[in-house]
Amino acid sequence: MNLTIDVKENGQEYQITLAGEIDAYTAPNLKEKFIEIAEVKNAYITVDLTNVSYMDSTGLGVFIALLKAIKKTEGTLKFVGVSERLKRLFDITGLTDILNVNSQVEGGVK
């Protein structure tokens, strides 16, 4: 399966738009891209999941690793465009409580 990763940068703000499936096959590329960005001090990262059709536990693991890396560099992470299906996955795993998950697409890097 495929995953498209589009990154727009404006200073320390990053708008990451994902499209496709996040699974064991695509997660390593995603993690590699996230780790680069997470190293930026005080980065403000918005991840748009509007066009993500599928995500498994591997994807959730990538997001947890990103959150940990972001905290070390005093950055901010939020998710927008979360479908009901993905929101349910975040809810079931308890990640809604620790990740900033919003179903609406708002703001972002222009």
- Is 103 part of any domain? no
Q: What percent of the chain has pLDDT over 70?
A: 92
- Is 65 part of any domain? yes
4 or 107, higher pLDDT: 4
- Is 108 part of any domain? no
- Is 67 part of any domain? yes
- Is 110 part of any domain? no
- Is 82 part of any domain? yes
| Count of structural domains within the chain | 1
Burial 55-89 (b: 16+ CB within 10 A, else e): beebbbebbeebbebbeeeebebbbbbbeeebbeb
pLDDT score recorded for residue 100: 85
Q: How far apart are CA 39 and CA 34, in angstroms?
A: 9
pLDDT score recorded for residue 98: 85
Which structural domain, as residue segments, surrounds residue 8?
Answer: 3-97
Query: Is the pLDDT reported for residue 61 higher than 90?
Result: yes
Mean pLDDT for 26-38 is: 92
CATH classification at residue 15: 3.30.750.24
Mean pLDDT for 37-43 is: 92
pLDDT score recorded for residue 1: 64
